[in-house]
Amino acid sequence: MNNFLEYKGYYGTVEYSSNDSALFGKVLGINGLISYEGNCVKSLQDDFNEAIDDYINMCDENSIEPQKVFRGNFNVRVSPELHRQLVLYAASCGQSLNSTVEEAIKAYVSIEDK
């Protein structure tokens, strides 16, 4: 994955602020905001790692289960007409709506089952 940081299964963005001449980012895939910053890639990665460790420690201290990154389910809102077409297409292929949507997403992002 390009232009993302990764640590302990968590991913974060890498962005640049020309106003501040600084790198910054936020953690993807969890509710809430965990942000980090740095003046070079190494300091950005270090602050990202520290932010993840702080999040996990805070969850432990408060007996909260850290959010599982990318649990494998999410809600998608589509028009009623597209929903109808998907259901009919899935049925004509003899598969579930979930399988049809998963297949379409895999094709879109060009990934294979691993």
State pLDDT tens for residues 71-107. Answer: 788 889 999 999 999 999 999 999 999 999 999 999 9
pLDDT-above-70 percentage for the chain? 93
Q: Give the separation between CA 42 and CA 54, rounded to whole angstroms.
A: 18
Rounded Cα distance, 19 and 110, in Å: 36
pLDDT for 73 equals: 82
CA–CA distances in Å: residue 58 to residues 3, 27, 45, 69 = 27, 16, 20, 16
Q: What is the torsion angle, in degrees rounded to the nearest 10, for the CA atoms of residue 24, residue 32, residue 5 and residue 51? A: 80
The whole-chain average pLDDT of the chain stands at 90
**Could you tell me the pTM of the whole model?**
0.69
pLDDT of residue 7: 95
